[in-house]
């Protein structure tokens, strides 16, 4: 095979791949020595593109990551955990959990993840983009940190503030008043989503994080751009 044919063959193989990121659980970090976010490639035919929908947060933000458990639980880790070699539950993965916050303004689950699916038994998680554009470990880290340290507390504070302002002469069972309160609650959540789940809010956070990482000497962030610009 001529060199030109070899190069074309390699290009064809590469074009069938999509960038993705593994999000490590506590056991990965403790027992396998992995970093929190690992770059990898997956085929365009990977089952994640057929089986998984984008997270609610990402749909509103316009960045469509797909997040899926690997289900590769190593139950030997539980023995180490029980022996006191690991203080935290080995399959816990808070970065993946917070990426799955729900934001349907009409649902009681607004501001929470589905704890039946994203509680403790999470393990290693795969993340990639639904549009199959490149995604980097720094993108996933920034999204996870934004959801965990900015968005989740803000959603909690919003809910507390709403009910503190509403709890004034409200009597349970007064149907008309309940309906009006629910309408105001939904409207306030929609306004929150509009103001928080947007490029402006995330990009401000992203570039602040980039500046902090560079100031701390992490040169891997030097050429990183927001996922919106990919």
pLDDT over 80 (residue 211): yes
Q: Mean of the pLDDT values across residues 194-215?
A: 98
The span from the CA of 36 to the CA of 56, in Å, is 23
Structure tokens at 84: 């006191």
pTM: 0.86
The b/e string for 8-33 (b: 16+ C-beta within 10 A; e otherwise) is eeeeeeeeeebbbbbbbbbbbbbeee
Q: Which residue spans within 45-191 are E strands per DSSP?
A: 65-69, 125-129
**Residue 28 pLDDT greater than 80, yes or no:** yes
Over residues 156-168, the mean pLDDT reads 87
Three-state DSSP state, 149: helix
pLDDT at 6: 45
The total of other beta-carbon atoms located within 10 Å of residue 65's CB is 23
């Amino acid at each position: 095979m001529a060199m030109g044919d070899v190069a074309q063959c390699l290009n064809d193989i590469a074009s069938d791949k999509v960038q993705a990121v593994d999000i490590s659980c506590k056991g990965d970090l403790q027992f396998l020595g992995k970093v929190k976010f690992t770059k990898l490639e997956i085929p365009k035919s990977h089952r994640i593109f057929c089986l998984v929908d984008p997270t609610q947060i990402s749909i509103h933000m316009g960045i469509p990551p797909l997040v899926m458990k690997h289900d590769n639980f190593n139950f030997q880790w539980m023995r180490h955990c029980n022996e006191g070699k690991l203080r935290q539950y080995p399959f816990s993965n808070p970065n993946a959990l917070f990426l799955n916050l729900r934001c349907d303004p009409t649902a009681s689950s607004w501001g929470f993840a589905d704890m039946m699916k994203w509680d403790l038994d999470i393990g290693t998680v795969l993340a990639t983009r639904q549009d199959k554009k490149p995604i980097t470990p720094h993108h996933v880290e920034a999204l996870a940190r934004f959801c965990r340290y900015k968005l989740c507390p803000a959603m909690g504070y919003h809910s507390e503030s709403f009910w503190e302002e509403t709890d004034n002469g409200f009597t349970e069972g007064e149907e008309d008043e309940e309906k009006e309160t629910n309408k105001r609650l939904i409207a306030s959540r929609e306004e929150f989503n509009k103001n928080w789940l947007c490029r402006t809010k995330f990009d401000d956070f992203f570039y602040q994080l980039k500046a902090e990482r560079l100031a701390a000497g992490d040169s891997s962030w030097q050429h990183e751009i927001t996922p919106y610009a990919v």
